[in-house]
Amino acid sequence: MAMVPGKASLPVTFRSGFRPKVGDSLLGFPEGRESVLNELLETPPDEFGRLDLAVLNLLCASSLPGSENLDIPKCLSRLNRLTAFVKASTERNLHRLSTEQETGRSEANWRMGMLVTNVKRDFGASYSPSVRDDLLAGVEAPFSDSRESFIHGLLDDDPNRRWGTCASIPVLITAVARRLGYPVRLAVTRTHLYARWEGAECFNIEASNPAGMSVLPDDHYRGHGGGMTGEEEKSGFYLRALQPAEEFAVCLKARVACLRDAARYEETLLWSARALQFAPDDTYFAKGAHYVLDIALKHRLRIKHPERKIPPPEDPNPIFFNAGELLAPHELSLCMTIVAHFKESQGNLTEAREEYENACRHNFHGENEQRDLQRFLLKHRLPRRANPLLSPQGPIRFRRIRLTGKPSDEAAMLRQLASECERKGELLKARDALHDLYMFDPGDAEVFQRARAIEQRPQFHVQLKAVVKERRRVLQASGEHRR
């Protein structure tokens, strides 16, 4: 079996036209990292295969406790030097391969053994002593230091301080392996991360143990952490190689854990929602994200209404409050996404569907929300909303076009209006008609795609600028009149 050393994955072209590269200046300062990370959150899942896992992991560590001195270009440079060292060491010891093969060891197994040995013994990457002590004492170690959860801790300047955990060591091993052209991906249990070779042969790679590499069977991981539940087995998410977008979700979930243990609950909404959308089959995280959301909302409720008695999260009795009163407009769809995944994990498909649809209604441009809804409908084989479609009731009332007629006829009227306006070149009106139609049935992916296509046309932007300019003129005139 011939192994071809390779380079880091190619960067993807983002909507803004920015292409992050190893050593790019944007990765070297907080505002640049934030910009790149925000672009990643809106990247289609099928494009993550072109991105470097190490870059994704380091970006997710930004602004967390322990990342104050984070230098991504420097980390990537050290990672590339480590890869070159492993490559040279492997080639220098190729004469040992035939002896290993005589004992039944495959070339792939031997190469990964060399890699893990070089990274742990020679480079000094090891398990965090403080976290190991907590685990041995039966204490759940907090995610209080991002250096123990992300690979920048393993790439530390000090060779004696290159510590990590099972949240970061497998990521470093996988990042080096991919730079060498090895077909290695991440895999997970409910509470553990490891690597997996997925080529002509498949085997698990355990590198978070004190010694060198261990090759353990799936049954070992199936019993990890008290064993998998039937629901987790059925999900199909665990004990397999993750897809690239799911690997990104692993990094996002580590970020959520760090924010949670730093008591920065309110910052978890965005990362939790995107992690669920990129890895929707992770039923365990669906429960964890919902738990943290509950803490975040109660925290805001306590600040807004200090006179109210707020029960602790473990209290089984529900507490009623208006989430819309506590959340900014852009946070509503995130909250609904988290609740939707939780409802889905509980098997409550009716309520889950309502939450998925409302998340779409609250974010008309949310490609993540639309993709999430379509996945849900397809997975559970749920049909489209039956005619006649009726305008949504309750808090979802934002409409852009007023119609006169029977409520049962409004959807058909909007569909016809959108087509007529588009034919006449009145693209703003066509888009607004599609917006209102989308409120009726967000499960209609064709309406969503039509609206996005209209917004990409140059004529639409010309009309939009004209309307904005006219509104400013009117406002200015009104202000002068008042003066």
Identify any residues that bridge with 193 across adjacent strands, giving them in sequence order: 188
Average pLDDT over residues 428-447: 95
- DSSP H stretches of helix in 279-409: 283-304, 323-326, 329-345, 349-362, 367-379
Average pLDDT over residues 294-303: 89
| Residue of 43, 46, 50, 54 whose CA lies nearest to 14 | 43
Using the predicted structure, report yes or no on whether residue 320 has a pLDDT greater than 80: no
pLDDT score at 44: 94
- Phi, psi torsion values for 198, nearest 5 degrees: -125, 75
352 Cβ contact partners less than 8 Å away, ≥ 6 residues apart: 340, 341, 343, 344, 376
- Using CA atoms, how far residue 83 sits from 115, 186, 207, 315, in Å, is 9, 18, 16, 50
Average pLDDT over residues 68-78: 94
pLDDT score at 391: 79
Mean pLDDT check: name the lowest of 152-156, 355-359, 479-483.
Answer: 479-483
pLDDT band at 395 (very low <50, low <70, confident <90, very high): low
Average pLDDT over residues 234-241: 91
List, for residues 194-226, the tens digit of each pLDDT value. 999 999 999 999 999 888 899 999 999 998 777
Residues in the chain: 483
Domain positions in the chain are 25-244, 265-379, 408-482
Identify any residues that bridge with 127 across adjacent strands, giving them in sequence order: 164
Mean pLDDT check: name the lowest of 192-206, 256-270, 321-335, 385-399.
Answer: 385-399
pLDDT score at 402: 86
Is there a contact between 308 and 299 (Cβ–Cβ < 8 Å)? no
Using the predicted structure, report yes or no on whether residue 1 has a pLDDT greater than 50: no
pLDDT score at 215: 95
pTM: 0.90
What is the torsional sign of CA 33, 39, 41, 44?
A: negative
164 Cβ contact partners less than 8 Å away, ≥ 6 residues apart: 125, 126, 127, 128, 147, 148, 149, 151, 153, 154, 172
Give the separation between CA 255 and CA 142, rounded to whole angstroms. Answer: 12
Give the separation between CA 319 and CA 195, rounded to whole angstroms. Answer: 42
Q: Exposure pattern of 331-340 as b/e (b: 16+ CB <10 Å)?
A: bbbbbbbbbb
Mean pLDDT check: name the lowest of 339-348, 422-431, 473-482.
Answer: 473-482
Using the predicted structure, report yes or no on whether residue 387 has a pLDDT greater than 90: no
Mean pLDDT check: name the lowest of 20-34, 183-197, 266-280.
Answer: 20-34
**What is the CB neighbour count within 10 angstroms for residue 453?**
13
Give the separation between CA 390 and CA 385, rounded to whole angstroms. Answer: 10
List, for residues 90-132, the tens digit of each pLDDT value. 999 999 999 988 899 999 999 999 999 999 999 999 999 989 8
- The angle formed by the CA atoms of residues 373, 376 and 381, to the nearest 5 degrees, is 125
Using the predicted structure, report yes or no on whether residue 478 has a pLDDT greater than 90: no
Mean pLDDT check: name the lowest of 128-137, 178-187, 240-249, 437-446.
Answer: 128-137
Which one has a higher pLDDT value, 139 or 41?
41
Residue with structure tokens 């920065």? 264
pLDDT > 70: percent of the chain: 93
pLDDT score at 17: 43
Give 153-162 contacts, CB < 8 A, sequence gap 24+: 153/66, 153/128, 154/125, 155/75, 155/78, 155/79, 155/82, 159/123, 159/124, 160/124, 162/123, 162/124, 162/125, 162/126
pLDDT score at 390: 80
Average pLDDT over residues 22-35: 76
pLDDT score at 384: 86
